[in-house]
Amino acid sequence: MNTPSVPLLRALTEAGVGSRRRIADAIKNGSVEVNGEPVESFRHPVNLDTDRVSVNGKLVDLKPRRTVYLMVNKPAGIITTPSDERGRRTVLDILPAKYRQLRLYPVGRLDKDSTGLLLLTNDGELTYRLTHPKFEHEKEYLIQIDGRLKPAEKTKLERGFELEDGMTYPVVVKEIKSQPPFNYSITMHEGRKRQVRRMLASLGYRIPALKRVRMGSLHLGNLREGATRELTPQEVQSLLSSRPPKSAAKKF
């Protein structure tokens, strides 16, 4: 399986070289070399298998020693980043100690106020497959809103409509009654920043609670809030073996 290229800044951040700001400064200052050549672009593509990257003349080990796939049921109030310069608690802070030095990185994002399924891994291939739009991995969210969607509002969500950053793709909206306080589920394959909240806000609804319960074939299940578990080999293989829909080539 070919390892996809990743941007230089991301590769070094995930390798644990330092904070994004420190790495960005090193790149701008010409202190980072790829295959012996100085590189000053944050987005310079790096192949984790074949490229040699050094910082201040010191070779960086870009490949983690142990591949880990970790599911977390994220509580509210936790930041979905490896570190936070403002000192807020991050998802790495709530992991068992044995995982904290493994260069794990969140796959996608959940905003601070949202809860539910979050995947952390040091496998760049899986991250690529779960986050690149062409693979169209579904993400399912349970949401709580005050009141009920009007039929026209539900249709608008399902067909897609214009937000400030472009047209949304169609989603699947279902009313639910068995999982209070949530009263709707939304299934989508996009992952824009705070997209579910922004879509509902554009219709005049506030979301007091939002919980992700599925990413592709991976279900949160009964994992308690704040808890973690490693994925089974079968779960990992299912995520890695999924292929883009035939229609994806026409969309991107």
Would you please indicate which residues are annotated as catalytic (active-site) residues?
111
- How far apart are the C-alpha atoms of 61 and 77, rounded to whole Å? 33
**C-alpha triplet 211, 83, 103: angle, nearest 5°:** 90
Residues 225, 73: contact at Cβ < 8 Å? yes
- How far apart are the C-alpha atoms of 184 and 150, rounded to whole Å? 13
Closest CA to 183 of 221, 224, 154, 222: 154
Report residue 105 as tokens: 């990185």
Report residue 155 as tokens: 């249709």
Strand 209-215 with 115-121, pairing: parallel
- How far apart are the C-alpha atoms of 172 and 112, rounded to whole Å? 24
Residues 212, 139: contact at Cβ < 8 Å? yes
- How far apart are the C-alpha atoms of 88 and 91, rounded to whole Å? 10
Give the end-to-end CA distance of the chain in Å, rounded to a whole number. Answer: 22
